[in-house]
Structure 1
Amino acid sequence: MTLSEYLKTMDKERLEAFANRCGTSVGQLRQVAYGNRRASAGLAVSLDRETGGVIACESQRPDIDWAYLRHKTA
């Protein structure tokens, strides 16, 4: 599922709450969803977290080596 498809499943209230949980605005989410802006690394992580992995950070920022971060041990 793409971010734009995901956002279309929500009514205005749910979309506002989702944006707040992601630490951004609905407008910024739409800009990212439609390819007008690139998600920051932080927003990509928030989208992954808040969607339970439906919108994976890898899909928003394929230029980042997420595999390294996901498998890093302390």
Structure 2
Amino acid sequence: MNLHDYIKPLDKPALESFAARCGTTVGQLKQVAYGYRRPGAALAISIERETSRSVVCEDMRPDIDWAYLRNTTVAALIPLPHAEGHGRVLETA
């Protein structure tokens, strides 16, 4: 589900309450829902939390490596700096 589909059925008081729980305004939510603005990482996380994962960060901000932050198997190879300046890879899977 995307943010637009999530907020569409909400009446005005429910939408205002949702926005407040997310730490933003109704106007900002609508800008994000209609694709005019991208949410910051913190707002994306708040939206995911307040929608009980009905709307997920990965859909709102595909440019962020959420798998790495969530420590999921999608981030199976994590580049780590080596003491001599050479990269090495840590296998997490």
TM bin (shorter chain):
over 0.9
Cα RMSD over matched residues? 1.0
Separation in 2 of the partners of 1:9 and 1:2?
13
Structure-to-structure mapping, 1:5-24, within 5 angstroms: 5-24=5-24
Q: In the alignment, what sits opposite 1:67?
A: 67
Q: In the alignment, what sits opposite 1:38?
A: 38
Any runs of at least 4 consecutive aligned residues in structure 1 with deviations exceeding 6 A, and if so which?
A: none
Q: Per-residue displacement from partner, 1:19-73 (whole Å, max 9, x unpaired)?
A: 000000000000000011111001100011000101001110000000011118x
Kindly, what percent of the aligned residue pairs are identical?
61
Separation in 1 of the partners of 2:2 and 2:67?
20
Q: In the alignment, what sits opposite 2:27?
A: 27
TM-score w.r.t. the length of structure 1 is: 0.93
Instruction: Mark the runs of 5 or more structure 1 residues left unpaired by the alignment.
Output: none
Larger RCO (alpha carbons 8 Å, 6+ apart):
1
Separation in 2 of the partners of 1:67 and 1:9?
30
Q: Which has a greater percent of strand?
A: 2
Structure whose alpha-carbon radius of gyration is higher: 2
What is the aligned residue count? 72
TM-score w.r.t. the length of structure 2 is: 0.75
Separation in 2 of the partners of 1:51 and 1:19?
11
